[in-house]
Amino acid sequence: MSLHYVAVGWNRQKKIYDSILAGSLTLYLALFALLGSLVHPNATIETLLIRGFGTAAFLLLHVILCIGPLARLDRRFLPLLYNRRHLGVTMFLLALTHGVFSIVQFHAQGDENPLASIFLANRRYASLADFPFQPLGFFALLILFLMASTSHDFWLRNLTAPVWKRLHMMVYAAYGLLVAHVTLGALQSERSPVLAVLLGIGMACVLSLHLAAAAKERRVDERQPATGGDGFVEVCAVEKIPLNRAVTVSLGGERVAVFRYDGKVSALSNVCQHQNGPLGEGRIVDGCVTCPWHGYQYLPDCGAAPPPFTEKVPTFRTRVVDGKVYVHPKPFPAGTRCEPARIDGNVQEVAV
Amino acid sequence: MTAAVHIFVWAFTAYLAAGFVFAVLFVIFGAQRIDSQAPGSTLGFRAIVIPGATALWPLLLARWTRGVGDPPGERNAHRNSSLREV
Ligand code: HEM
Ligand code: FES
């Protein structure tokens, strides 16, 4: 929501978040080096660093991938999502350290160009047991670089949120490459089943959380509202919308967030202009619809951020008749004011 | 195989080297031309944009040479249909 760009928009909450992250990672790397040198007394410090940074990055990637679906399934995880970009950039830096150490250790000694050596040092591409797993790590690192280097709001604005999101969906390709990198590489040389078991647990978590969140989303989208003669669509009974909250309904190929506040009902496109966060899962704070992801705000009747900010989302006409809420599915251009529907009489409040 | 890898590595390095030169020029002279929020931004912001500009320089070069004053608007189902007549 800033009007000028700064390098990193830190605030108190993000500082706490980042300190916890830095502390946990330092602890992890120290424990890894300590335990590693006890279990493998012959391992060199380079090997321990390569493995320590590689596993730290891969572990953090699992955390990052699980936060999205967790926040969809349970609001209590939303604070984790708030600063996920810092997690992503940190994960890239850990992976970069791992990659650079590996290249220096395994590819910088000979006459071959170190980058070319990643692909040429082992050429058994036809073998499964000896497959060159390092190129897989290289391509994953490339994707992570693309994501980390475009994580600033400048890129969000210049690529637009939908394109930026598509770019960041490549994280799943990176995850696939890394599962192969770890399985083919480290598991080949490891006798102990510990890493295999951990990897299995990690993949099961990522997969099952994504399936559960997708099933929940589908239930929202499949609710087909009834249409009246005048084009207005019945959404729900007024009291179904908790005060200062929204009910979402799928209309016109996208979700609409229908808010109740102040004896009124207003409807906005559910898609936050920042990173396309779900506005309907946010609440009204200080008279503004507040995105649950990073707190961008919009006035409920016109879908525009309060000045001097400039974000805008499309708005919808609403109507309340006999205690039922109706929305017209034709959106108005982003930021257009729509008279909110007034609710006559009292609403039976239900606990959220 | 060896030749293909060398061509790839050469092209990759050349792309990023060109991108880096472009990126440095872009954050000094170009950013404020294509994005109205960039003028008056901090030095740290300019430094942090360099890696991404190194990777995506053809996109920024196209905007810069076309003299686009601001990023394009976002497109999605609601935004598109809100601009269509009924
Ligand atoms: C240029 C890119 C990369 C290269 C050259 C590379 C190289 C290596 C090498 C040589 C190993 C085996 C280490 C050993 O067993 O001692 C390894 C293992 C591993 N790599 Fe990478 N890697 C790259 C990218 C990545 C990335 C992007 C990640 C993840 C975020 C990653 C995660 C791992 C993990 C988790 C292991 C297993 C560590 C273990 O053995 O305990 N790698 N990599
Ligand atoms: S998605 Fe970031 S504030 Fe809405």
Domain ranges for chain B, please list them: 2-69
CA A273 to centroid of ligand 2, rounded, Å: 7
- What pTM value is reported for the model? 0.86
CATH of A233-342, one of 3.40.50.2300, 2.102.10.10, 3.40.190.10, 3.40.190.80: 2.102.10.10
Residue B40 burial (CB count, 10 A):
10
Q: Residue A305 to residues A2, A81, A283: CA-CA distances in angstroms?
A: 12, 22, 15
Question: Which chain B residues are closer than 8 Å to A7 by Cβ?
Answer: 42, 44-45, 47-48
Using a pLDDT cut of 90, give the percent of chain B over it. Answer: 57
**Residue B86 predicted with pLDDT over 70:** no
Using the Cβ of A335 and the Cβ atoms of chain B, whether some distance falls under 8 Å is answered with no
Give the Cα separation of B52 and A145 in Å (integer): 8
CB contact under 8 A, A152 and B49: yes
- Determine, for residues B55 and A334 on separate chains, whether the beta-carbon distance falls below 8 Å: no
How confident is the prediction along chain A (352 residues), in pLDDT tens digits per residue?
A: 556 788 787 788 889 999 999 999 999 999 999 999 999 899 899 999 999 999 999 999 999 999 999 988 988 888 888 888 899 999 999 999 999 999 999 999 888 999 999 999 989 898 888 899 999 999 999 999 999 999 998 998 898 888 898 999 999 999 999 999 999 887 677 667 888 899 999 999 999 999 999 998 888 777 666 666 678 899 999 989 999 999 999 888 889 999 999 999 999 999 999 888 999 999 999 999 999 988 899 999 999 999 888 899 999 999 998 889 999 999 999 999 999 999 887 766 665 5
* Cα–Cα distance measured from residue B16 to residue A155, given in angstroms and rounded to the nearest whole number: 18
Residue A224 is predicted with a pLDDT of 67
Which single residue is written with the structure tokens 């790590």?
Answer: A137
**B34 and chain A: CB distance < 8 Å anywhere?**
yes
Identify the pLDDT of residue A167.
94
Residues of chain A contacting residue B6, judged by C-beta atoms under 8 Å apart:
113, 116
Per-residue pLDDT, A350: 60
- Which B residues, 67 through 86, put their C-beta within 8 Å of a C-beta on chain A? 71-79, 81-83, 86
> Can you count the helices (H) and strands (E) in chain A?
11, 11
Q: What does the alpha-carbon distance between residue B74 and residue B86 come to, in Å, rounded to a whole number?
A: 21
What pLDDT is stored for residue A151 in this prediction?
93
Rounded distance between C-alpha atoms, residue A161 and residue A272, angstroms: 9
Q: In what order do the strands lie in the sheet with A318-321?
A: A233-237, A324-327, A318-321
Which pLDDT does position A230 carry in this prediction?
A: 79
Q: Which whole-number Å values give the CA distances from A38 to A30, A55, A346, in the listed order?
A: 12, 18, 69
Please give the distance, rounded to the nearest whole angstrom, from the Cα atom of residue A292 to the centre of ligand 2: 7
Delimit the domains of chain A by residue range. Answer: 12-220, 233-342
Say which residues have a Cβ less than 8 Å from residue A265's Cβ, sequence separation at least 6.
A238, A241, A258, A259, A318, A320, A325, A340, A341, A343
B50-63 pLDDT tens trace: 999 999 999 999 99
Task: Say if the Cβ atoms of B79 and A269 lie within 8 Å.
Answer: yes
The pLDDT assigned to A351 comes to: 54
Question: What pLDDT score does B85 carry?
Answer: 64
A269 interaction partners in chain B (CB closer than 8 Å): 76, 78-79
DSSP symbol at A185: I
Q: In angstroms, how far is the first alpha carbon of chain A from the final one?
A: 29
Residues 6+ apart with CB under 8 A from A247: A235, A236, A240, A241, A257, A258, A280, A325
